[in-house]
Amino acid sequence: MGEGRTVIGLDAGWKFRKAGAGAVAGAVAGAATPSHKGFDDSAWQTVALPHDWSVTEPFSPDYSSGTGYAAGGIGWYRKSFRLDAEYAGKLASITFDGVYNNSQVWINGHNLGRRPNGYSSFSYDLTPFLVSGGRTNVVVVKVSRLDLADSRWFTGSGIYRSVYLTLTDPVRLAAYSPFVVIPAASAADAAGADAAAASAAALMVEARVINSTDRAVDAVVRHSLADPRGTVAATYEASLRLGPGADAPCRAALSVARPELWSPDSPSLYALTTEVVADGKTTDRTTTAVGIRTFRFDPDRGFFLNDANLKLKGVCLHHDAGCLGAAVPAPVWADRLAKLKAMGCNAIRMSHNPPDPKLLDLCDSLGFLVIDEAFDEWEGVKNKWSTGHNVYPPKHFGYGDDFPVWHEADLAAMVQRDRNHPSIILWSVGNEVDYPNDPYCHPSFLAMAGNNDAGKPAQEMMYDPDKPNAERLAGIARELVAIVKKHDATRPVTAAIAFPELSNITGYCAELDVVGYNYKENFYAADHAAYPDRALLGSENGAGYDQWLAARDNDFIAGQFVWTGVDYLGEAKGWPVRASPAGFLDLAGNPKPKYFFRKSLWSAEPVLCLAVRPNGEGAGAASEWSKVQAEAAHWDWGAGEAVEVVAYTNLPEVELILNGRSLGTRRLDDAPTGYLHWDLAFEPGRLEARAADSPISCELRTSGAAAAVVVLAAPAAITADGRYVARIDLGLADATGIPIATADVPVAVRVEGPGELLGLESGDVADTEAYTTPFRKTYRGRLVAYVRSTGVAGTVRLRAESAGLEAAAATIDCR
C-alpha cells in the first residue's frame, strides 16, 4: 500500500439472486435475511459488475413496452472482501456509480441507507462498521424495481455500473475535491474566450481538506499540473492549520503558459495531481484530468469554443447497448463513440439522466461536447406506455414520486461528480417537463397549435384543474438552476423545452441561461426576434434534412442534437417490437444507410454511399421517415421490382452505373432533399456509383445463396483483466464472398478459453429471442458477439456455426 488514498475496485465476485428464487425465498421466510452478514449465499449465482438482470431473462408482452418488455423485480447482491491489518485506522467509503433502482445497502449487517434514483452515483461511510486484519466484510445490496412501467425507455435492473472502495487517512481531501475552475466565458463576458488563445491560461483549483482527528494538524496542499506529455506545466503549495474535526478550503491560482487547448479536434488533457501532506507523510493524493478551454453561447452567433465559432452537431443517447442492457462496458461505448465521431458528430446529449462516469471520461478523451442532463420528470409522473408507444391508457410510475424529497441531493450529486469534465458545456435540469398534460396543465392549451399527439384522447387535451399547473414550472426551474450554480457557476444551465409557445408565457424559458427546443424548429426565427437576448439550440431534433438546415442556416442556433445516435431498448411501438429504431447506429452498433447521409452533411471527408428503397405502389405517399426505415445497402430485390436508389454524398456529381450501363449523372446542387436518387427496376448484377473528378466510388452486388458464416472483424488481442470486452463482427457470405443481407439464419456461437460470451446482438428491434441463448438469428446478414476476458491469460477461441453453412472461427490473444 502506498501513501495517500487507495481505491479498490469491487466489480468482481458478487453473489446474486432474484427474490422469490430458491435460497432468498426460504431465507426471507425464516430467521435470517440476505442483509445479514452470516447469511449463506453459497448457492447464489456469481456475477461480475456491471450487471443488468433485465437482459438475462426472457422478454414478455406482459411487461411494459416503454421499458422494452424486459423483466424487473427484486434482486439481492452480496460481496465479501477482506482488508489487511495495514488498513486499520483508515477511513473507508463505498461508491456506487449507478444502481437501478430503489437500492438499499448494508455493511456487515448495518443498514447504510437507500437511494431511489437509479442513475445517481452515491457513497456511504463504512468506517464505523468495517473489520480488518484479514476478517471478512460483507456488503449487501437490495434492488427493488417492482414497477416495470417506471420509465419511458429501457432502464435495466441491478448494479449496472461499477462499485469501488476508497480508503484514506483521517487528514484528506473532501469528496468531489478538488474542483478545477476554468472560466467558461459567458455571452456577456466574451473577453474570457480571448484568454484561451493568449500566452497563458488562468485556472483556479478549489480544494477542501478535512481533519477527522481529535487534534490540530498542520497540513500542506500541493498541486502539480502536467501537460499531455507529462511535463510539469504549473505547481502550487500552501500550508493549512486544521483544528480537531475541522475542515478548510484551499484556493490555488495556476497559470499555464502556452496552453494546449481542449477541443473536439484536439482533446488535449492535462493531469492535475493534488497531494495532502500531514506530519511529514502524504495522507491523500488524487489525479484529475483537466481540459483547458473556454466557451460561450452568443444569442446572435451561436456557440464558440476557444473563441472560434462552432456548430454543435450532436446526437442524443440513451444508456443501453442492446444485448448488454444497461451494463455497458467502456470498450463498447468507445466503439460506438468512435463511429459517431467518424460520422462528424461533435456533441452528445445524455438523455435523460446522469450517465456512467466512464462514458464522460471517453467524451473527454475522444473530444465530444456534452449536455449532462438530470431529470426527465419533476414533481409529477409522466405517462408511461405499457402496451405500445402512445397507446392509451398509460401507467403512472416513476421518479416524479421521489423528486420532491430527492431532487436537490440528486442534482447536486450529478454536478459535483461531473464538473471537472471538460467535455461538459451545459447542465440540463429537465427534459420535456412542460409537455402538455403530461402532467402539467394550463387553461390556454386548446388555443395553441401542436397540442400533443394526434392520437391523444380528447379528455387528455383539455384543461384539467386537478393536474399540476404549468405556472409552477418557472419556480421549480429557478430552484434547480440555483442548485446547479451553487456547485458550478462556470457553465450555463439549460432544459429541453417541449412546448415553448406556453413556456415562454409561464416564464419557464426565462429561468434558463440557454434554451433548448425539442422539435420546434418552426419557432426559431420568431422566438429569436421576440427574445433577442436568448441563446438557442436544438436540444432534440429529427434526423431530416430540413431540421439540419434550420440549425445550419441560422447563425443564432448553436446547433442540434438528433434523436438518436444509436437505437435503444424501450419506447417500443408494440410487441414484438421492443426497441426504438431511431438511431444512426443499430442495436449492434452497426451504421445504417442514414448514418452515411448524416456523415455527408456533417463530415468534411468525402462520402459516397448507396442505399436502396422499395418504390412500389404506395411508396410515393410514404413519409420520409418510413422510406429511410425501409432502405437497405444491398442489391438483392425481386425481379423487375421498382426501387429507388439513393446516393448519400457530399461530392458535386455522381454517376450511377448498372451492369456497365450509365443510368445518368446527378448533381448535388440540384437535390432539394440533400441526397441523389434514381428510380429504376431491379436487375441483378453490379450497381456502382462513381463520383466525378474523384476516385471515390461505391458498389452493391447481387449475392448468391448463403455459403458461409464469416468473421468480419475481431481484435487480435485483449487485456486479461476480467473486465475488457471484445466485439466480434460476424456476417453471411455466398460462395464468392459477396455479403448476404436478405437471407437471415440462426447462428450458434461457442467460446472456449479464458473468455465468456456476454451476449449476441443482431440489431433486429423485433427479435424477441432471450438474450441469454448462445444463438441468434442474423439481421440483414450481421451478428455481433461480445466476449469478456475472465482475467486469465491465454487464447480465446470463438466458433460461429449455422446449419448447412461453413463455420467461422476467430482466435484472440488474452494477455
* 3-state SS string for 67-99: CCCCCCEEEEEEEEEECCHHHCCCEEEEEECCC
With CA atoms as reference, report the closest residue to 319 among 123, 118, 104.
Answer: 118
With CA atoms as reference, report the closest residue to 377 among 433, 422, 445, 450.
Answer: 433
Residue 432 is a catalytic residue? yes
Q: Dihedral of CA 379/385/391/394: which sign?
A: negative
Helix (H) or strand (E) holding 708: strand 706-713
Residues sharing a CB contact under 8 Å with residue 229, sequence separation 6 or more, in sequence order: none
Q: Which of 511, 521, 540, 761 is catalytic?
A: 540
CA distance 231 to 222: 16
Residues sharing a CB contact under 8 Å with residue 48, sequence separation 6 or more, in sequence order: 11, 12, 13, 14, 722, 723, 788
Query: Do the beta carbons of residue 521 and residue 539 sit within 8 Å?
Result: no
Residues sharing a CB contact under 8 Å with residue 524, sequence separation 6 or more, in sequence order: 517, 536, 550, 554, 556, 557
Residue 57 is a catalytic residue? no
CA distance 94 to 73: 25
Q: Is 755 helix (H, G, I), strand (E, B) or coil?
A: strand
Report the DSSP pairing between strands 424-431 and 369-373. Answer: parallel
Q: Which residue has the cell 442534437?
A: 561
Helix (H) or strand (E) holding 524: helix 524-530
Residue type, 163: V
Q: Which of 275, 373, 432, 571 is catalytic?
A: 432
CA distance 632 to 645: 10
> What are the angstrom distances between the C-alpha of 624 and each of 548, 587, 635, 642?
14, 22, 21, 17
What pairs with residue 760 in β-bridges? Answer: 785
Please state whether the peptide bond connecting residue 436 to the residue before it is cis, i.e. omega within 30 degrees of 0.
Answer: no
CA distance 518 to 560: 9
Terminal CA-CA length for the chain: 25
Report the DSSP pairing between strands 676-681 and 642-649. Answer: antiparallel
Query: Do the beta carbons of residue 93 and residue 166 sit within 8 Å?
Result: yes
Q: Which region, left, alpha or beta, applies to residue 402 given φ > 0 means left and ψ of -120 to 50 means alpha?
A: alpha
**One-character DSSP codes across 594-620:** HHHHHHHHH-SS--EEEEEEE-STTGG
Q: Which residue has the cell 432474484?
A: 18
Catalytic residues: 432, 540
